[in-house]
Amino acid sequence: MAHKIEFITEAVEDFGRLDGSIRKKVAKKIDELAANPYLGKPLGNLNDINLTGFYKLYTDDKKIRIVYRLLLEDRVIVEIWGIGKREKSQIYQKVNRRVQNRKKKK
């Protein structure tokens, strides 16, 4: 059974900015994620970036990270929050800002 995949708006933009060959690799990983949403490794609180409840999944020889969380409703929904490079924790900082911005809007 394939699980539902949803992107937050900013993650759609992340995906669109990727180079074509990397986009294909990311799309393949997302397809794998739809089959098994527990493929990624859990994130936590590190260096004042609290992403507890989120997961990371590697692609492109661990150069690119897909950061997502699972929404458990009547079925599992994989909600993708960011796609990008790990360099200097950029992708984790980006997702953390997105989380904080969503909290402020509520």
Among the listed residues 86, 82, 69, 87, the one whose alpha carbon sits nearest the alpha carbon of residue 33: 69
- Checking if the pLDDT of 68 tops 80, the result is yes
Q: Which residues are CB-neighbours of 63 under 8 A, at least 6 positions away?
A: 85, 86
pLDDT digits (tens, 9 = 90+) for 7-47: 999 999 999 999 999 999 999 999 999 999 999 999 999 88
**pLDDT at res. 72:** 86
Instruction: List the domain boundaries for the chain.
Output: 4-105
Token match 């759609």: residue? Answer: 12
**pLDDT at res. 106:** 64
Q: If you average pLDDT over every residue of the chain, what do you get?
A: 91
Say if domain 4-105 classifies as CATH 3.40.50.300. Answer: no
**pLDDT at res. 32:** 95
Other beta carbons within 10 angstroms of residue 75's beta carbon come to 9
